[in-house]
């Protein structure tokens, strides 16, 4: 048995960024940048007015100006502002030549063809200089960044219509077990609906991967071995990792060029985790209990997908990094927690806020077959090996579960 | 001018849940439940073993047992465990009749047809009773919950194949301005690429709506009035809300059965916000500066979409509620902030963690035309009207921007 940290390290080292594809601006949100995206133009392209008002020459002071034209956004004034002249201008309008300040309309009084100003009106320039937001050639989104909606607006402003992003890694998922059938199907006595896979597909999609449903395989070596035929960047098996004294998955794949990296991690839930390579394809064998499956997915599969996408965590926001499972937040426990044994333990729990602080409370029952408490949870409390008991108010590390 | 709070209240009151649609299990993640989803079966359906081992009668104590059969998962033993008998059982296997405890295999020694036990082996039952996770008819996901990946696994376990969820509300988005053209298109001097819409489309999608691109409209009343023809649950306009002394949008829609609720909110960025009804369709007119647009979207459009989806915030996790913009987190400021004026101010900022606490630092320049800092930000600091200066270490409210 190896530690969670060592397991995570070995998994992370086994993956590298996959190939990229050109994607249209309208479909970039959530995708990971493959090559730095550079601005194709200055923004703003020319000096523009930040306010509605009058474009003037500052040197003319508070003298009345003759209004010689107008410059609404999109309609530049085709001339020069001369001494004691002004051009009516609106937010986003190009500042005409000759002008070096905008007097806001609240400080101006129009009278006939003239405009009169308050005393201190021309002090601020109210001009957005060309390139204020960004310059042509500047990096708008670095390689490894997962693009947000805000990034998409920024790219549009930079005149970007398409960009190279990582292809969605294909993750083949096979559920193993004679007791399993699909939801809604008739089943034998004691049989149950395969459930983990549906949660896993949604997680894989949310994390930027493309789940491929390899279906339900019975507990026979011949059937399990067929997953070696999956056309995927990564194979995930659910269940079969610890049946009695043997591991069916490893046994079944023994004939299919499977090389084991590790089996069994000192954690709860999720001990019988398998990691290795099926030919060149990484394989993550997760335990079949649904809570174990989904907790292992958050801890090991998400970083694997991130690694295939080439995600650079430094380019993500703090909440995003937390969601990667690689950074935990601190919270204070509401009720006491007992001492932990040698296995790192993940407790389903609920977060709350009080007086600007984050609090967390673990569910009483933590059986790894119980999906209902996992669905109600919004965080996992991380209990390191041999952790001392925690008293109410003590700080513990939590992994927020957020949307997944 | 009204306060942000009053504006948010008026917007929220104008929306109610729209109709629902039946959706397949595989597409339920992220959707909002329209009617409570009830379990169609007990989980587990029968008592099952939580461990690999031997099913025995507790009353027989530590006496050796004769192994009379096996019960792997999916293959129940078709008989009864009699006195001094045992059935080999595996995790997930149905506990055979007569047995009331599972002795784990680590505590057992098989010898010929017999199995011998350690002294305290039969104390824990290691049995998961029928219905331990949930009972048939129990609510697995209440109306108003936005379904997570974990919920999808739970629904599958409850034998759910489809569920009624709210239809994605159609949000028509029109960008208004003579200065605008699409990214990549040639443009006139001083013209710029329409950018806010691309960020907004991605936000609307992430929040569960269906964006409809109504394109770019020039600054003429005739063209702007065409948005009244949009087939949508809600209309959003970007720009045109404050051009010189008048509001083009209101003027244009005056002939199209537009009734104004409010115009102008005491906030920065985003003052010239319009809200009203175009016939029966709610209309949110947002300022054209991209930062103003996207901040107003987080504050007003997201709750509007949530209201159309019938989201019940009590059913969401804490981080989800934060993302709705309706609850802020507390963080401590790294560098001092000045006193605020009468407008509620939203500062682009970056979060960090130190010693289990959340810290936040505002960008120096907060010009509402600058998308680059909005893209780099991961939170908005909320500065209430007339807020006193904040010293380093003081607590402020922040809205995490997370993925959007």
Residue A120 has pLDDT above 80, yes or no: no
> Span A46-54, mean pLDDT?
93
Report yes or no: A180 at the B interface, CB cutoff 8 Å. yes
Last residue of a domain, one of A109, A144, A166: A166
Residues A171 and A301 in one domain: yes
B322 in any annotated domain:
no
At a CB cut-off of 8 Å and minimum separation 6, what does B52 contact?
A242, A243, A244, A245, B89, B90, B91, B104, B105
Residues B155 and B85 in one domain: no
Question: Which candidate, B296, B307, B281, places its Cα nearest to that of B214?
Answer: B281
**What pLDDT is stored for residue A144 in this prediction?**
95
Tell which wins on pLDDT, B119 or A326: B119
Which residues of chain A neighbour B90 with C-beta distances below 8 Å? Answer: 243-244
Report yes or no: A163 at the B interface, CB cutoff 8 Å. no
Q: CB–CB of A383/A344 below 8 Å?
A: yes
For β-strands B37-38 and B180-181, DSSP reports them as unpaired
A391 in any annotated domain:
yes
Residue A403 pLDDT class (50, 70, 90 cuts): low
B318 in any annotated domain:
no
**What pLDDT is stored for residue B242 in this prediction?**
60
Exposure of A120 in the CB half-sphere (CA atoms within 13 A): 1
B21 preceded by a cis bond (ω within 30 of 0): no
CA angle centred on B208, ends B199 and B4, rounded to 5°: 65
Contact B190/A26, CB-based, under 8 Å? no
Residue A320 pLDDT class (50, 70, 90 cuts): very low
Helix/strand/coil (H/E/C) assignment for every residue in A10-49: HHHHCCCCCCEEEEEHHHCCCCEECCCEECCCCECCCCEE
| C-alpha–C-alpha distance, residues A170 and B229, integer Å | 42
**What pLDDT is stored for residue A213 in this prediction?**
96
Q: Which chain B residue shows the shortest CA-CA distance from A156? A: B195
Parent domain of B295: 4-17+167-309
Last residue of a domain, one of A147, A166, A185: A166
For B154-176, b/e burial (b = at least 16 CB within 10 A) is: bbbbbbbebbbbbbbbbbbbbbb
**What pLDDT is stored for residue A306 in this prediction?**
93
Residues B143 and B208 in one domain: no
At a CB cut-off of 8 Å and minimum separation 6, what does A147 contact?
A28, A29, A30, A31, A32, A33, A141, A155, A165
Contact B353/A318, CB-based, under 8 Å? yes
**What pLDDT is stored for residue B320 in this prediction?**
38
A159 in any annotated domain:
yes
Contact B318/A352, CB-based, under 8 Å? yes
Residues B305 and B182 in one domain: yes
Percent of chain A predicted with pLDDT > 90 = 77
**What pLDDT is stored for residue B189 in this prediction?**
85
**Helix, coil or strand: residue B236:** strand
Contact A242/B91, CB-based, under 8 Å? yes
The total number of structural domains that make up chain A: 4
CATH of the domain at B103: 2.170.190.11
Which residues of chain B neighbour A206 with C-beta distances below 8 Å? Answer: 29, 149
Question: Which candidate, A164, A314, A12, A94, places its Cα nearest to that of B192?
Answer: A94
Q: How many CB atoms lie within 10 A of CB B2?
A: 18
B316 in any annotated domain:
no
Query: B87 — alpha (psi -120 to 50), left (phi > 0) or beta?
Result: beta
Structure confidence by residue, pLDDT tens digits, A260-315? 999 999 999 988 899 999 999 999 999 989 999 999 999 999 999 999 999 987 65
- At residue A374, φ and ψ (nearest 5 deg) are -65, -40
**Distance (Å) of CA A20 to CA A23, A33, A39, A154, A167:** 9, 9, 20, 21, 5
Last residue of a domain, one of A250, A276, A309: A309
Residues B94 and B230 in one domain: no
Q: Which chain A residue shows the shortest CA-CA distance from B243? A: A90
Residues B149 and B86 in one domain: no
Which of A157, A201, A374 is nearest residue B195 as measured by Cβ atoms?
Answer: A157
**d(CA B65, nearest CA chain A) in Å:** 18
**d(CA B43, nearest CA chain A) in Å:** 8
Which of A73, A153, A330 is nearest residue B198 as measured by Cβ atoms?
Answer: A153
| C-alpha–C-alpha distance, residues A337 and A286, integer Å | 27
**Helix, coil or strand: residue B231:** coil
A314 in any annotated domain:
no
Q: CB–CB of B206/B404 below 8 Å?
A: yes
Q: Which chain B residue shows the shortest CA-CA distance from A197? A: B153
**What pLDDT is stored for residue B318 in this prediction?**
43
Report yes or no: A140 at the B interface, CB cutoff 8 Å. yes
Report yes or no: B306 at the A interface, CB cutoff 8 Å. no
**d(CA B183, nearest CA chain A) in Å:** 5
> Does an H or E element contain B277, and which?
strand B274-278
Contact B52/A243, CB-based, under 8 Å? yes
Question: Which candidate, B351, B268, B299, places its Cα nearest to that of B10?
Answer: B299
Please, which residues 57-116 of chain B have a Cβ atom closer than 8 Å to chain A? Answer: 72-76, 88, 90-94, 105
Contact B320/A290, CB-based, under 8 Å? no
Residue of A192, A241, A297 for testing the chain B interface, max B β-carbons within 10 Å:
A192
Residue B319 has pLDDT above 70, yes or no: no
Report yes or no: B210 at the A interface, CB cutoff 8 Å. no
Q: In this structure, what token pair is assigned to residue A192?
A: 């149950």
A322 in any annotated domain:
no
Which residues of chain A neighbour B158 with C-beta distances below 8 Å? Answer: 183, 193
Which of A158, A179, A404 is nearest residue B73 as measured by Cβ atoms?
Answer: A179
Contact A154/B374, CB-based, under 8 Å? yes
**Helix, coil or strand: residue B36:** coil
Please, which residues 247-286 of chain B have a Cβ atom closer than 8 Å to chain A? Answer: none
B102 in any annotated domain:
yes
Residues A175 and A246 in one domain: yes
Q: Which residues pair with A396 in a beta bridge?
A: A331
Q: Which chain B residue shows the shortest CA-CA distance from A133? A: B370
> Span A326-341, mean pLDDT?
88
Q: Which chain A residue shows the shortest CA-CA distance from B89? A: A244
Instruction: Please report the number of interchain residue pairs, chain A to chain B, with beta-carbon separation below 8 angstroms.
Output: 357
Contact B401/A148, CB-based, under 8 Å? yes
Q: In this structure, what token pair is assigned to residue A197?
A: 């896979």
Which of B159, B194, B319 is nearest residue A402 as measured by Cβ atoms?
Answer: B319
Percent of chain B predicted with pLDDT > 90 = 77
Residue A367 pLDDT class (50, 70, 90 cuts): very high
Q: Which of A43-52, B50-59, B327-336 shows the lowest mean pLDDT across its residues?
A: B327-336
Which of B157, B192, B401 is nearest residue A195 as measured by Cβ atoms?
Answer: B157
CATH of the domain at A233: 3.40.980.10
Q: Report the Cα–Cα distance between both ends of chain B, in Å, rounded.
A: 28
**d(CA A11, nearest CA chain B) in Å:** 23
**What pLDDT is stored for residue A139 in this prediction?**
98
CATH of the domain at B37: 3.90.105.10
Which residues of chain A neighbour B46 with C-beta distances below 8 Å? Answer: 189-190
Structure confidence by residue, pLDDT tens digits, B227-236? 999 999 999 9
Contact B371/A154, CB-based, under 8 Å? yes
Residues A189 and A110 in one domain: no
Q: In this structure, what token pair is assigned to residue B215?
A: 């394109």
Residues A374 and A289 in one domain: no
Residues B303 and B223 in one domain: yes
Q: CB–CB of B208/B307 below 8 Å?
A: no
**What pLDDT is stored for residue B323 in this prediction?**
37
| C-alpha–C-alpha distance, residues B227 and B234, integer Å | 11
Residues A70 and A144 in one domain: no
| Average pLDDT, rounded, for chain B | 91
**What pLDDT is stored for residue A17 in this prediction?**
98
Contact B371/A153, CB-based, under 8 Å? yes
Residue of A124, A131, A198, A247 for testing the chain B interface, max B β-carbons within 10 Å:
A198
Which residues of chain B neighbour A367 with C-beta distances below 8 Å? Answer: 50, 128, 132
Contact A317/B378, CB-based, under 8 Å? yes
**Helix, coil or strand: residue A285:** strand
Which residues of chain A neighbour B76 with C-beta distances below 8 Å? Answer: 188-190
**What pLDDT is stored for residue A123 in this prediction?**
76
At a CB cut-off of 8 Å and minimum separation 6, what does B35 contact?
B20, B143, B163, B164
Q: Which of A190-204, B40-54, B168-182, B389-403 shows the lowest mean pLDDT across its residues?
A: B389-403
Q: How many CB atoms lie within 10 A of CB A397?
A: 17
> Span B111-122, mean pLDDT?
84
Strand arrangement of the beta sheet that strand B234-238 belongs to? B210-217, B170-176, B234-238, B281-286, B274-278, B258-263
Structure confidence by residue, pLDDT tens digits, B179-195? 999 999 998 888 999 99
Q: In this structure, what token pair is assigned to residue B54?
A: 């031997």
| Average pLDDT, rounded, for chain A | 91
Q: CB–CB of B250/B188 below 8 Å?
A: no
Structure confidence by residue, pLDDT tens digits, B146-178? 999 999 999 999 999 999 999 999 999 999 999
CATH of the domain at B373: 2.40.340.10
**What pLDDT is stored for residue B245 in this prediction?**
58
Residue A241 pLDDT class (50, 70, 90 cuts): low
Report yes or no: B153 at the A interface, CB cutoff 8 Å. yes
Residue A389 pLDDT class (50, 70, 90 cuts): very high
> Span B247-275, mean pLDDT?
92
Q: CB–CB of B287/B242 below 8 Å?
A: yes
**What pLDDT is stored for residue B400 in this prediction?**
84
Q: In this structure, what token pair is assigned to residue A240?
A: 């079969």
**What pLDDT is stored for residue A315 in this prediction?**
54
Residues B172 and B252 in one domain: yes
DSSP string, B76-95: --SSB--TTEEEEE-TTPBP
């Amino acid at each position: 048995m190896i530690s969670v940290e060592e397991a995570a390290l070995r998994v992370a080292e086994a993956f590298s960024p996959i190939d990229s594809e050109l994607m249209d601006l309208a479909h970039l949100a959530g995708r990971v940048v493959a090559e730095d995206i550079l601005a194709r133009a200055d923004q703003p392209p020319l000096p523009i007015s930040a306010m509605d008002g009058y474009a003037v020459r500052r040197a003319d002071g508070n003298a009345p100006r003759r209004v010689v034209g107008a410059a609404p956004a999109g309609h530049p004034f085709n001339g020069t502002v001369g001494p004691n002249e002004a051009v009516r201008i609106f937010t986003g309008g190009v500042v005409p030549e000759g002008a070096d300040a905008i007097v806001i309309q609240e400080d101006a009084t129009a009278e006939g063809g003239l405009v009169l100003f308050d005393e201190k009106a021309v002090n601020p320039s109210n001009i957005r200089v060309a390139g204020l937001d960004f310059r042509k050639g500047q990096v708008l989104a670095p390689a490894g960044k997962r693009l947000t909606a805000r990034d998409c607006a920024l790219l549009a402003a930079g005149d970007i219509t398409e960009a190279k992003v990582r292809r969605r890694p294909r993750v083949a998922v096979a559920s193993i077990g004679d007791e399993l059938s699909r939801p809604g199907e008739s089943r034998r006595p004691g049989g149950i609906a395969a459930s983990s896979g549906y949660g896993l597909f949604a997680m894989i999609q949310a994390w930027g991967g493309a789940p491929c449903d390899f279906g339900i395989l019975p507990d026979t070596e011949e059937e399990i071995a067929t997953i070696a035929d999956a056309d995927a960047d990564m194979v995930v098996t659910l269940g079969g990792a610890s049946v009695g004294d043997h591991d069916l998955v490893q046994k079944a794949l023994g004939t299919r060029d499977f090389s084991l990296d590790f089996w069994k991690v000192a954690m709860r839930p999720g001990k019988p985790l398998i990691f290795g390579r099926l030919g060149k394809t990484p394989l993550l064998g997760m335990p079949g209990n649904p809570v174990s499956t989904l907790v292992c997915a958050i801890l090991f599969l998400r970083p694997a997908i991130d690694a295939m996408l080439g995600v650079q965590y430094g380019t993500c926001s703090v909440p995003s990094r937390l969601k990667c499972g690689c950074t935990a937040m601190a919270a204070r426990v509401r009720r006491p927690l007992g001492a932990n044994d040698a296995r790192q333990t993940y407790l389903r729990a609920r977060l709350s806020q009080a007086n600007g602080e984050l609090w967390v409370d673990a569910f009483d029952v933590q059986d790894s077959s119980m999906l209902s408490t996992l669905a109600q949870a919004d965080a996992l409390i991380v209990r390191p090996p041999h952790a001392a008991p925690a008293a109410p108010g003590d700080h513990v590390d939590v992994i927020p579960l957020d949307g997944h």
